[in-house]
Structure 1
Amino acid sequence: MTTKFRLHSLTLAIGLALTSNTIYAAENTAPEVADADVEKIAVLGTRVSNRTATDSAVPVDIISGESLTKSGFTELGQSLQATVPSFNFSRTQVSDGSDLFRPATLRGLQPDQTLVLINGKRRHTQAIFGLNGTVGAGAAGTDMNAIPMIALQDVQVLRDGAAAQYGSDAIAGVINLSLKNTTDVTEGYLQTGGTTEGDGDGYSLGLNTGFDIADDGFINLSLEYRDYNGTNRAQKDIGGSSSIAPGTLSDSVRWKQGNADSEFTSVFFNAMAPLAEHELYAFGGYSNRTALGNGFFRNFNESAKNVPQLYPDGFLPLIDNEAQDVSIAMGLRGDLNDDWQFDVSGVYGENRYDFDSRNTINASYAAEYLYNNPSATDADIAANAGPTSGYSGGFRFDQLTFNADIAGVVDIGHSDSLYVAFGAEYRQENYEIVAGELASYACGPSNSSNAFPSVMDPAVYAGCGFQAYPGLRPDAAGSADRHSYAVYLDVETQVTDEWLVGVAARYEDFSDSGDDLVGKLSSRYDVSDSFALRGAVSTGFRAPSLQQSAYTAYTSNLGPGGVLSQSFTATAGSPFPSALGVDSLELEKSKNFSLGAVFDVTDEVSVTVDAYKIEIEDRITLGSLLSEDQVSFNPAAVAALNETGAVQANYFSNSVNSTTQGVDLIVTYKTELYQGDFDITLAGNINETEIDSVNAPEGIPENVALDDLQRSFLTDGQPQERATLTFDYSKNDWHALLRANYFGETDVIYFGNDHIGLPGFLSPTGSFEPTSTVESAVLIDLNFDYQLTDALSFSIAVNNIFDVRPDELGEDEALDFITNQAFQYPVRALPYGFDGTTYSAKVNFTF
């Protein structure tokens, strides 16, 4: 007999079989197992012609590895953004760490509210997160760009809450990265490109090969390398120098606003070997990425920040970022009998993130020397100004996960069997903050508890620590760990030939933040052969990450009046947040509702539309920096802030309840045109997040628990409308792709005058703009590919061919004023960047 195994979630589809070539299902009543007609959401080794799995009960996008590379982008995050409208990959400039990692978000939520898997197994997260003034601030998500695209067979994006299947983090959905398992073929590429501005040039190369091992076993290996120069859209400034009066344009561009110089090296593998009647599998990889970012230019006459004996004309401090990822997974899977399969596995992942400062200064070194040697000459001061580079500290995170999964069928005396999956998970996590060297954080070489008058103005105290990225202090260094365990059950059946119902439940317990029981009900009803309704109702949760509960550091941030000040992030339960009513972090709780339809209009046209609503309680945010004046109502908070030695401080808290709702639409059209294959895909997303209420402890004002700055990033920091319209045409050896990308407007307070608070008389127009706005835009990408021989092809890609960029800053923009007219564009909440037109040429080979 023929069995139709229809999966409503990723649990059965990839939990047991994602690294296999086939899935089989049989009914207990069958006297023998016949060939199975298996309908799968996604299986490695199969190219799915339709980008959306239209036969599932929840929306799933499937993007082949080949499609990802057609965009001309070299980074996975950019390629996904161009393909999946509900996926956002914001560009952020001049923000610690953002030169190397970018927040990857789904459905407008935070990076850590989307679970990322590789071959169906949980991927570790970053050791670091974006700080104040960025999309996804305080959320340590998965570094999508650490994965080499050449290693990917395909990517599946589940756009629905899935905590009942996978646990913490799966509030917005799940992204699964399937590694290649091909053998007896070697493929690779060499790509070079740049921007039409003449910068950003570089190259990337990749190589993938596979070999048969044992009987029916394989090993697939991937190597990818990228080396790209940075971009710069800054202009000459009017900050002045030792030879140019302030207010006069500089001789050269001294600031930097653009992508960092970057380098990437990665090696991945995917393997399987038969073991008795079962399969032993393993996969993993190593990647190393570096990026040379920068801070704001330090003007020659800034007494607290500069030592003119060393930098007479000012200086641009540089931040050298380095991220290293290591992962390894091993497991055994196979059949228990004709009806049941098992999969046991262990996965280890580690991320190390380090900061080195260059072309910088700790102004307090020279200040202490002059304080102790008041008759010192300029040469003496320069010689005793301390190092201009050094290690500023780093972060470590590792995760060890064990899973045991069993799936099979149960005869329930019905026309269709009950399909069952159940299992358990144990996870151990460790987090560490590593202190920087003495000069990176100290107040003078003596590491005094008191500041020293600057060498330029005795009425101004010199700043302590390296400029741009003050080092992590020993009192901030430390480690934390936790463990969790979970059990789950997932069942489904065809109630009738037309009606599919699935139920899932999961219990999970974290040693540091509590436990929760969540569930999911999903269903699909085939009204006809061409039209179906689908939907799901689920509860979910996310445990606070160790990066949130254990993080503490000193940084330089822009405060009132456009002045850079030393800031402190306090750990949960420490004196400052405790004084404001926050003693610990609790679980985030969520409710997810979705309702959609699948309509095969004709043999050539299909439509899917899915509406969703996600309610989150006790959502964790990294609060805005609070000054002494802002917490003056609470003497204990004032005392705790003064004890840190910082001008302002912030902390994590379960500050907000929110609702995110939207609609996803995908329309595909496939036909033949002039004896070639012609596909059109329209994919769109409308998404809106609203703040329902603020969880302000008793006696604490709401604008302290969640201020307007954080509100703006949560509700308006990501586009509320996104769409792509793709035309794909292939004929013989030619292939062409034209894609229009629409990005809705973003509008945040950061770098607007509602945040900075500059007096109006400083503006040439009499007032500054209250917010920082990035206008809606349509970017057009074009790609041509020609198959030169069976083994060789050549492609050219031009992205953003009409050079669309955000509107340039005007005289009434706060960012224009504080950068002395150096910055051309906004630098926060940028969904499409400001580099302009980019191009690339690529040679692909196969043998």
Structure 2
Amino acid sequence: MITHSLSMLAVAVSVAVSATSVQAAEQAPAAKADKNIEQISVLGSRVANRTATESTSPVDLIDADDLNKGGFTELGQSLQATAPSFNFSRTQVSDGSDLFRPATLRGLQPDQTLVLINGKRRHNQSIFGLNGTVGAGAAGTDMNAIPLTALKGVEVLRDGAAAQYGSDAIAGVINLSLNDSTGVTTGYVQAGSTGEGDGDTISMGLNRGFDLGDEGGFINFSLEYRDADGTNRAQRDTGGSVDVPAGTLSDEVRWGQGNADSEFTSVFYNMALPFGETELYSFGGYSNRTALGNGFYRNFDQAAKNVVQVYGDGFLPRIDNEAEDISFSIGLRGELNPDWSYDVSAVYGENSYDFTSKNTLNASYAAEYVASNPDASDADIAANAGPNGGYSGGFRFDQTTVNADLNGIVDIGRSEPLYVSVGVEYRKENYEIVPGEEASYACGLANSDTSFPAVNDSSVFAECGFQAYNGLRPEASNKESRHSYAFYVNAETLITDAWQVSTALRYEDFSDAGDDIIGKLATRYEITDDFAVRGAISSGFRAPSLQQSAYTAYTTNLGAGGVLLQSFTATAGSDFPSALGVDSLGLESSENLSAGFVYNVTSDLSLTVDFYHVEIKDRITLGSLMSADDVAFSAEAVAALNATGAQQANYFSNSVDSTTKGVDIIASYRTDLYDGNFSATFAGNINETEIDDVNAPEGIPESIALDDLQRSFLTDGQPGERATLTFEYDRGDFNSMLRFNYYGETDVKYFGNDHIGLPDELSPTGEFKDTSTVESAVLVDVNMGYQLTDELMLSAGIDNIFDVTPDELGEDEALDFITNKAFKYPVRALPYGFDGMTYYAKLSFSF
């Protein structure tokens, strides 16, 4: 086993070794004056003077100026435009997706990338993408909860780093460094819109730092606000109404396909206060976001879902999403002696998501009323149809992390000492599901065990609960807690002036999922002053999150034939998964190999190439929804499903062994040109994920453990190729940027006919397409800026200047059919969205 071999080798190379958590690293400031000066990297090494190109693993250094070019106001979008191995897929009409998007590295899951702020572990979000999305079932870090104004820079470690930084770092680590400037006020005001004339956005930010004391102390504050109108790329539909026969185009656009109306407010701070040989530091922030999203339109004649006495033309249910995020960190670091330093810290983070349904109804309320009052008038039915909205429930997650670290050098009788870091970590996590108000989930006003015949068609039963976001029931509410502790050691030295070796070893124990020992061995060798090779071999693991092990909810999802069905997600170990051989969730384990080189071709041109190979065993997935027919081979499973009251159900399991392999290529060129500075940067990623094995319990078909829908998201839901080519030119007061963004094709079965299963004779072309495809594309962004005065800069730009969107849906696509031609584009696995061209103007100030 590679895990055992690594552990033994790590112990042999040094005393130790287990994950040097960035938490223990002393941060060295990045070079600010000249981008040509190599920047100090916090990630990947414990040695304070290591630069990114000297690291044994690939590290991207992205400063705040680069993040703010291109008109993007969200951190996730900015990272996607600058780091091609980072994906930030868009998803539409999927609960919660109007506020968060899955952030991934190297095509893996959102919860397989660890995010840090100032080298300290950031908490995860309380909610995850549900069935039919990239990153389904993975509660990663909410990247858009962090304002760009607060950042000094971002480091992206593209290598397996669980042994260095802890569970979740299978794909890599993203470290967000907060602004530490003082004595200057900076900020901006930006306004923009789309080429279609919708999506008007205004955002503004402010940052100011103050000196504290006479020994270099500081406190820095950031404020940011964004307000964005929604976009809609839906079209008129042919669903009909009580006055218009089905098949006739509606007079107006009734469906919604686009970004939600949204608002974002945040405040962050960063502080350090030295006294003597010790420094007290603290940082944290608060953010609040709201977004008013859409569900699927409920046609007037869907009697189980609609009451025509209330909505004669049908209705578009809306979901009001609200996310609140709080974080606070405090620590003490200093020198024990000239060779050793310490860092003791505590970090608290809290994330909540709440859902309020609007423009909706609970069809069972009117159905119960009519069952008791069969001669009721239309006016009476409408008056007794219950509320048209209300609180549908929410999720809470909080995390407390405590670290104590020592960093120092050990004289081993050579010119280069052994750099050692040791530490311990304790983490406590809490998760809660908050039920909605009774009308959001109830079966009739009396909330009985069964529903009633629909008001407008007694041959079907009226559905219980609000449409679009069926409320979280009290029986599905849940509170769970757990804790973990870890011990880790890291050692690094130069064997010769040209050969660097580092090792890491970590032991971590989770109260609910077990323990593991993991290790890493990395090396870098300078063949010449300009050419070096590097590589690493590591093991890792990820414990199932509380969001996975404790989640349960009733939702509404699309079933076979394009019909919306009530669905249930069962907790691990409950009756339904147990009947199918899944009694609990275990650890994911990984083995990571990487190799590459750094080549300074000339003083102006550099090239890095890094290959990677990641094998993950017992990968946790959220299975697809299964009906009683799907599990008919097990009478016990059918009975367990029926007991939930839902028509289909799913659950989490350690269902997959997979291999992800690829290559990252970065080439950078800088030179003087016509009294100005010219640079060109190419960054590309090629990535492929394959399913090695499906871990189906004995007697359970593989298609139950992992069906084709989930398989397609894992292997083809994210672009297999990504690249950016950026040209920048600065001269005097003028600066400009031209960026080409390439996105490879995505192709998933969700919302294709492999998912919907429509008879081909319903297609005007005689056959429906099997899958949902988003074609490869090149998007071009242009930005220009001019320094008006010493204090003011004006910039303007156009993103996606050629208005590139995915190919429009054709008559042979199932999504076109089931939305009555309302949806113009695919709605899943969209790496670049479908809003098309956007433009903006920005006024920045500094004084």
When residues 558 and 622 of structure 1 are mapped into structure 2, their CA distance, relative to the original with a 3 A threshold, is: same
Counterpart of 1:815, as a letter, is L
1:116 matched to 2:115? The reply is yes
Counterpart of 2:538, as a letter, is S
Contact 1:535–1:596 (8 Å) recurs in 2:
yes
Contact 2:306–2:363 (8 Å) recurs in 1:
yes
1:173 matched to 2:172? The reply is yes
Q: Which of 8, 17, 23 is the aligned partner of 1:15?
A: 23
Contact 1:16–1:333 (8 Å) recurs in 2:
no
Which residue number in structure 2 is paired with residue 747 of structure 1?
Answer: 747
Q: Deviation at 1:56?
A: 1.0
Contact 1:501–1:524 (8 Å) recurs in 2:
yes
Aligned-partner Cα distance in 2 for 1:21–1:623: 45
Which residue number in structure 2 is paired with residue 787 of structure 1?
Answer: 787
Which residue number in structure 1 is paired with residue 292 of structure 2?
Answer: 292
Aligned-partner Cα distance in 2 for 1:39–1:102: 30
Counterpart of 1:171, as a letter, is I
Aligned-partner Cα distance in 1 for 2:605–2:38: 24
Secondary structure at the counterpart of residue 626 of structure 1: coil
Q: Deviation at 1:451?
A: 1.2
Q: Deviations over 1:71-90 (max 9, x none)?
A: 21000000000000000000
Contact 2:566–2:647 (8 Å) recurs in 1:
yes
Secondary structure at the counterpart of residue 824 of structure 2: coil
Q: Deviation at 1:16?
A: 3.7
Q: Deviation at 1:845?
A: 0.3
Contact 1:117–1:177 (8 Å) recurs in 2:
yes
Which residue number in structure 1 is paired with residue 156 of structure 2?
Answer: 157
Secondary structure at the counterpart of residue 639 of structure 2: helix
Aligned-partner Cα distance in 1 for 2:363–2:83: 47
Q: Deviation at 1:39?
A: 8.1
Counterpart of 2:659, as a letter, is T
Residue correspondence of structure 1 range 296-375 to structure 2 within 5 A: 296-375=296-375
Which residue number in structure 2 is paired with residue 723 of structure 1?
Answer: 723
Aligned-partner Cα distance in 2 for 1:90–1:634: 37
Q: Deviations over 1:377-408 (max 9, x none)?
A: 11110000000010000000000000001101
Q: Deviation at 1:165?
A: 1.2
Aligned-partner Cα distance in 2 for 1:375–1:364: 17
Contact 2:443–2:449 (8 Å) recurs in 1:
yes
Q: Deviation at 1:275?
A: 3.2
Residue correspondence of structure 1 range 455-534 to structure 2 within 5 A: 455-534=455-534
Which residue number in structure 2 is paired with residue 130 of structure 1?
Answer: 129
Which residue number in structure 1 is paired with residue 809 of structure 2?
Answer: 809
Aligned-partner Cα distance in 1 for 2:88–2:444: 40
Counterpart of 2:224, as a letter, is E
1:213 matched to 2:212? The reply is yes
Contact 1:13–1:41 (8 Å) recurs in 2:
no
Which residue number in structure 2 is paired with residue 826 of structure 1?
Answer: 826
Residue correspondence of structure 1 range 276-291 to structure 2 within 5 A: 276-291=276-291
Which residue number in structure 1 is paired with residue 769 of structure 2?
Answer: 769
Counterpart of 1:190, as a letter, is V
Secondary structure at the counterpart of residue 475 of structure 2: coil
Aligned-partner Cα distance in 1 for 2:122–2:394: 21
Q: Deviation at 1:172?
A: 0.0
Q: Deviation at 1:22?
A: 9.1
Aligned-partner Cα distance in 2 for 1:441–1:108: 36
Contact 1:541–1:587 (8 Å) recurs in 2:
yes
Which residue number in structure 1 is paired with residue 235 of structure 2?
Answer: 235
Aligned-partner Cα distance in 1 for 2:148–2:27: 17
Secondary structure at the counterpart of residue 780 of structure 2: strand
1:72 matched to 2:71? The reply is yes
Q: Deviation at 1:595?
A: 0.2
Aligned length: 820
What stretches of structure 1 move > 6 A for 4+ residues in a row? 9-13
Residue correspondence of structure 1 range 409-808 to structure 2 within 5 A: 409-808=409-808
Which residue number in structure 2 is paired with residue 269 of structure 1?
Answer: 269
Contact 2:619–2:655 (8 Å) recurs in 1:
yes
The structure whose RCO (Cα within 8 Å, separation 6+) is larger is 2
Counterpart of 1:463, as a letter, is E
Contact 1:18–1:119 (8 Å) recurs in 2:
no
When residues 705 and 10 of structure 1 are mapped into structure 2, their CA distance, relative to the original with a 3 A threshold, is: closer
CA RMSD of aligned residues (A): 1.6
Aligned-partner Cα distance in 2 for 1:77–1:280: 31
Counterpart of 1:195, as a letter, is T
Contact 1:18–1:178 (8 Å) recurs in 2:
no
Secondary structure at the counterpart of residue 445 of structure 2: coil
Contact 2:754–2:771 (8 Å) recurs in 1:
yes
Secondary structure at the counterpart of residue 52 of structure 2: coil
1:92 matched to 2:91? The reply is yes
Aligned-partner Cα distance in 1 for 2:167–2:52: 24
Q: Deviations over 1:93-149 (max 9, x none)?
A: 000000110000000000000000000000000000000010000000000000000
Counterpart of 2:600, as a letter, is D
Aligned-partner Cα distance in 1 for 2:713–2:521: 32
Aligned-partner Cα distance in 1 for 2:545–2:276: 40
- Unaligned 5+ segments in structure 2 are 1-16, 32-36, 44-49
Secondary structure at the counterpart of residue 240 of structure 1: coil
Q: Deviation at 1:53?
A: 2.1
Secondary structure at the counterpart of residue 657 of structure 1: strand
Which residue number in structure 2 is paired with residue 248 of structure 1?
Answer: 248
Contact 1:73–1:79 (8 Å) recurs in 2:
yes
Contact 2:21–2:164 (8 Å) recurs in 1:
no
When residues 749 and 114 of structure 1 are mapped into structure 2, their CA distance, relative to the original with a 3 A threshold, is: same
Which residue number in structure 1 is paired with residue 46 of structure 2?
Answer: none
Which residue number in structure 1 is paired with residue 197 of structure 2?
Answer: 198
Q: Deviation at 1:17?
A: 4.5
Counterpart of 1:546, as a letter, is L
Q: Deviations over 1:772-805 (max 9, x none)?
A: 0000000000000111011000000200000000
Contact 2:25–2:42 (8 Å) recurs in 1:
no
Aligned-partner Cα distance in 2 for 1:55–1:491: 16
Contact 1:108–1:687 (8 Å) recurs in 2:
yes
TM-score (ref. length: structure 2):
0.96
Secondary structure at the counterpart of residue 458 of structure 1: strand
Which residue number in structure 2 is paired with residue 844 of structure 1?
Answer: 844
Secondary structure at the counterpart of residue 329 of structure 1: strand
Aligned-partner Cα distance in 2 for 1:55–1:837: 40
Q: Deviations over 1:401-427 (max 9, x none)?
A: 000011010110012000000100000
Q: Deviations over 1:740-779 (max 9, x none)?
A: 0000000000000001100111110111100000000000
Aligned-partner Cα distance in 2 for 1:103–1:15: 25
Secondary structure at the counterpart of residue 291 of structure 1: strand
Counterpart of 1:339, as a letter, is D
Q: Deviations over 1:337-356 (max 9, x none)?
A: 00001000000000010000
Q: Deviations over 1:440-484 (max 9, x none)?
A: 000001111011000000001001000000000000012000000
Which residue number in structure 2 is paired with residue 139 of structure 1?
Answer: 138
Aligned-partner Cα distance in 1 for 2:306–2:38: 68
Contact 2:491–2:503 (8 Å) recurs in 1:
yes
Aligned-partner Cα distance in 2 for 1:182–1:515: 41
Contact 1:42–1:62 (8 Å) recurs in 2:
no
Aligned-partner Cα distance in 1 for 2:314–2:247: 15
Aligned-partner Cα distance in 1 for 2:147–2:166: 26
When residues 87 and 497 of structure 1 are mapped into structure 2, their CA distance, relative to the original with a 3 A threshold, is: same
Q: Deviations over 1:541-589 (max 9, x none)?
A: 0000000000000000000000000000000000000000000000000
